Chains A and B, each alone.
Chain A
């Protein structure tokens, strides 16, 4: 790994929370991103992933806690949703220099590395979802940022394209040493190269390193051995459930008003830096391993189980 722990982090979030219309979108977020570190945020829809990322880069101001950014931090941002009105004539080439000037060679390199050099002259409105996503990624990396923020970069990309994009993200990190903040709604598949996975559900539920799944039979079967080198599963256990009235039911049967990292119900609340020892890493889960993980994993995606 290229991690250099003695370097100052690019972004440091301390107990940050964002509130809108009297409701906390996300609370108690604590993490940092160092140069050459890949941090992945996962969680269901509405869990505050995008909000957290926006607070990290200064688009949203935190309503509690604080966010510290390295002075002069250069950010490359790929937003989750970007609709360009048809009335705006914009080629891929012109998109590259949207927020700052670039040399022609830099544009070419970025388009080449994302595999869309042949589309330089195409209008962005004519691109497919995957091509557009690559164009946005090319734009973000062409400006050689210190911190690359990718909000669901693989949406609209087919599976082999997804692997290629993750490979690309990895090589960008290795070549440029920039920090990367990645957001994924896909709970099962996160990058093997991710240094830290942070699971959000209105707050930080848990965090740790992704498990390597190269030996996991169902992943090998599903994705093939080549893909398994790139893909990893982050084993996941929710120790509490959000009740409809906003209260929280914990695994020990108690109910509290909020779920805050310091309420004592979070098993890893004080183990933030202990990435290697996630308490559910004792086995890899298969379809028939017989533990209760899988129903919970699926329940995470559907609202039914959350409703209790």
Chain B
């Protein structure tokens, strides 16, 4: 069915874009962009561990990303350093330990560029199954967790007081992030995962009137970016991962242009003239 490498890339990329849209919204609502970066960087440590112990790559990346996020929670509870500084330490330590470990393993040669920037054109049918299977799992979980996650994004104490469990929702959210990073690494690479999370969600903000609409729009915009980026990379013979990010950025810049009637001016008209037809 997907015998063409380009079709496979397109199907995998679209699956990933749909999955990360809602997660990306939470990343920007909760101001967790740097956190996403840290988890992604720690993926290289996962790569090294998988080579050392001959583990499944995706599983190993998932475990390391989840462990790093739990470590961050523990360090935050101690409250000595700011989250910013902790993230910087964790992020680059994990990345560097991974690189040092790989250097020690003289018997393996890895395609570092492939891990850092992804190789979507090399996805197999098994990868597609993983992307879509994992993606559907993540989306179901997000729908299930939507209310406690959104309420605790607005105010964790409010959510707690009114019977939702913000701590549990946050833990599940981190596990979902780790899963998405494990899935996305092969497609856009460690360094570009965060951009696929953040840029479509930020673009969607301009057009969204509710959190739910923004989540769906982020997925749609992500799909546009993946499609545009892949066709661009085919046409101009450019690396696919970065091309997708450039396409996403192009859409973001378009969303900044002052065209049409945007929500804010409409509200302003309503409030100045009172009743509006």
Contact = CB atoms under 8 A, between A and B. Distances in A.
Interface of A: 54, 57-59, 74-77, 79, 82, 84-85, 87-91, 94-95, 98-100, 122-123, 126, 143, 149
A126 B267 contact: yes
A88 B157 CA distance: 18
A84 B150 CA distance: 11
Contacts of B210: 89-91, 94
A79 B162 contact: no
Contacts, number: 75
A84 B31 CA distance: 11
Chain A binding surface, main DSSP class: loop
6 contacts: A54-B157, A54-B161, A59-B160, A88-B153, A89-B205, A94-B211
A170 to B, nearest CB: 22
A87 B162 contact: no
Interface string B192-216: 0000000000100100111101100
B154 interface: yes
B148 to A, nearest CB: 8
Interface of B: 28-31, 147, 150-151, 153-155, 157-164, 202, 205, 208-211, 213-214, 263-264, 267, 271
Given A98-B151, A99-B163, A143-B162, A79 B209 contact: no
A130 to B, nearest CB: 15
A123 B214 CA distance: 14
A90 B208 CA distance: 9
B29 A149 contact: no
Chain B binding surface, main DSSP class: helix
Q: Which 8 A-B pairs have the closest CB atoms?
A: A77-B161, A99-B162, A89-B208, A88-B29, A57-B161, A99-B151, A59-B160, A59-B157
B152 to A, nearest CB: 10
Contacts of A123: 263, 267
Given A57-B161, A77-B161, A122-B267, A89 B214 contact: yes
B30 to A, nearest CB: 8
A149 B28 contact: no
B211 A88 contact: yes
Contacts of A85: 28-31
Given A59-B157, A89-B205, A99 B211 contact: no
A59 B154 contact: no
Contacts of B29: 85, 87-88
B218 to A, nearest CB: 11
A199 to B, nearest CB: 23
Nearest to A118: B274
B158 A79 contact: yes
Given A75-B161, A77-B158, A82-B158, A87 B205 contact: yes
Given A58-B160, A75-B161, A149-B161, 6 more contacts: A54-B161, A59-B157, A74-B163, A94-B211, A99-B164, A100-B162
A77 B157 contact: yes
B147 A99 contact: yes
Contacts of B214: 89
Nearest to A101: B147
Nearest to A99: B162
Contacts of A91: 209-210
B150 A98 contact: yes
Residue among A79, A89, A143, A149 with max Cβ neighbours from chain B (10 Å): A89
B161 A88 contact: no
B208 A79 contact: no
Contacts of B30: 85
